[in-house]
Amino acid sequence: HIGDKRPVIRQLDDAAINRIAAGEVVERPASAVKELIENALDAGARRIDVSYADGGKTLIRVVDDGYGIAADDLPLALSRHATSKIDGSDLLNIHTFGFRGEALPSLGAVGRLTITSRVVGEAGAMIRVAGGKMEPVKPAAINGGTVVELRDLFYATPARLKFLRTDRAEVQAIGDVVKRLAMAEPFVSFTLRDVSGGGEGRLTFRADAQTGDLFDALHGRLRQVLGAEFAENALKIEAEREGVALTGYAALPTFSRGSAVMQYLYVNGRPVRDKLLVGALRGAYFDFLSRGRHPAAVLFLECDPHRVDVNVHPAKSEVRFRDPGTARGLIVSALRHALADSGHRASTTVAG
Ligand code: ADP
Ligand code: MG
């Protein structure tokens, strides 16, 4: 009789809840890198140094010079749904990368996490959590800022560990995360290095200035991240419509690519992979590119945070516009104007 097998309803413990959440927030080493860099940026860091070993599988370390975490707050930073970034009253009024309070507890549930931090005027401290088990806070030597070290990612969830791709694929994904965040923060210096030997993944994006003209800084960063050729073939984009602002650089059609690798799109400073925006970009270049070619562009949309919901997915790479037509129309018209003004003919008039 089936009634005999009726299961009992139980409340899961925190460690289990965090492991489940981690499945959504931390898909792979690159997602951990993303969360940790975003935390450093939210903490006002001017310099962020990322290192990893074995494709991030055995070690990810992010060092920042941000405002740090007070010793007393360290256990809270590792608790689920604990955040210093919102008060919960207005989930659409978000000005930081983080707000869900999920990244650190998730990482601590699936790996071995050590956070060492110091706020100005106080002593440094560290906390450790592994597989969801938290150790007490201890004093630690650190000059300032925060060091987050994540070892043995997914050791506590062997199923996830099995699904990880090759170190090479993970190194590629980590590099992509660093590039996309660094592009949006041209006043912040970033380094990335592989401490397990291979020098392939090494990146250095120095901020020449910490303030000044945003377009100059952006152009400098564009050159560092996507290369001199893109920077030299880039049209400056600056447009506005109905309270939505668009800025950035779009490459001349002659600098198109065979894939969409050089499409960096942002909404309110957050890197997004959004079908609507990618579609608008494609639409803008439609008459200027032959089939199979993809435009290269770095575009920043800025609007009142109430007009866009970033809380669609735990990784926050998807957004939902209240009025998608405005964003789309703005991108298409601004880019088409820039391309037409640049004197480039539509590809349909060019042989081949
Ligand atoms: P969220 O970023 O959504 O708030 P996290 O779990 O990523 O959640 O971080 C929890 C809290 O820990 C943050 O709200 C912040 O107060 C603190 N924190 C995390 N990383 C840093 C850092 N690098 N520097 C300063 N504070 C940090
Ligand atoms: Mg965070």
What is the model's pLDDT at position 65? 98
Angle at CA of residue 226, ends 225 and 229, nearest 5° = 130
Atom of ligand 1 nearest to the CA of 146: 23
**pLDDT of 51 over the 70 cut:** yes
Helix (H, G, I), strand (E, B) or coil at 176: helix
Domain residue limits, the chain: 14-205, 228-343
Name all residues whose Cβ lies below 6 A of ligand 1: 35, 39-40, 43, 64, 66-69, 77, 83-85, 98-104, 146
**pLDDT of 347 over the 80 cut:** no
Could you tell me the distance, in angstroms and rounded to a whole number, from the CA of residue 276 to the centre of ligand 2?
A: 26
Nearest to 284 by CA among 330, 218, 344: 330
Atom of ligand 1 nearest to the CA of 64: 23
Nearest to 269 by CA among 329, 214, 204, 224: 214
Could you tell me the distance, in angstroms and rounded to a whole number, from the CA of residue 134 to the centre of ligand 2?
A: 18
37-50 pLDDT per residue, tens: 999 999 999 999 99
Output the average pLDDT for the chain.
91
Report the C-alpha gap between 275 and 23 in whole angstroms: 23
The backbone torsions φ and ψ at residue 152, rounded to the nearest 5 degrees and listed phi first, read: 50, 55
218-236 pLDDT per residue, tens: 999 999 999 999 999 999 9
- Ligand 1, atom 17: nearest CA belongs to which residue? 77
Angle at CA of residue 333, ends 331 and 338, nearest 5° = 95
Give the ipTM. 0.99
What is the model's pLDDT at position 352? 34
Site to probe by mutation for ligand 1, drawn from 36, 42, 126 as the one with most ligand atoms within 8 Å of Cβ, is 42
Site to probe by mutation for ligand 1, drawn from 78, 83, 118, 122 as the one with most ligand atoms within 8 Å of Cβ, is 83
Q: Angle formed by the axes of helices 167-184 and 214-226, to 10°?
A: 160
Report the C-alpha gap between 278 and 272 in whole angstroms: 10
Could you tell me the distance, in angstroms and rounded to a whole number, from the CA of residue 228 to the centre of ligand 2?
A: 33
* CATH T-level assignment (fold) for domain 14-205: Heat Shock Protein 90 (3.30.565)
The backbone torsions φ and ψ at residue 40, rounded to the nearest 5 degrees and listed phi first, read: -65, -40
Ligand with smallest separation from the Cα of 41: 1
Could you tell me the distance, in angstroms and rounded to a whole number, from the CA of residue 275 to the centre of ligand 1?
A: 29
Asked if the domains 14-205 and 228-343 are classified in one and the same CATH topology, the answer is no
237-295 pLDDT per residue, tens: 999 999 999 999 999 999 989 998 999 999 999 999 889 999 999 999 999 999 999 99
Per-range mean pLDDT, top range of 5-19, 78-92, 181-195, 316-330: 181-195
Residues whose beta carbons lie less than 5 angstroms from ion ligand 2: 39, 98, 103
- Ligand 1, atom 2: nearest CA belongs to which residue? 98
What is the model's pLDDT at position 200? 67
- Ligand 1, atom 12: nearest CA belongs to which residue? 77
Site to probe by mutation for ligand 1, drawn from 104, 137, 310 as the one with most ligand atoms within 8 Å of Cβ, is 104
Task: Enter the DSSP assignment of 16.
Answer: H
Ligand with smallest separation from the Cα of 34: 2
How many other C-beta atoms can be found within 10 angstroms of the C-beta atom of residue 59?
21
Report the C-alpha gap between 238 and 215 in whole angstroms: 10
Percentage of residues of the chain with pLDDT beyond 90: 72
Report the C-alpha gap between 64 and 117 in whole angstroms: 10
- Ligand 1, atom 23: nearest CA belongs to which residue? 40
The CATH class of 228-343 is alpha beta
Paired with 302 in beta bridges are: 245
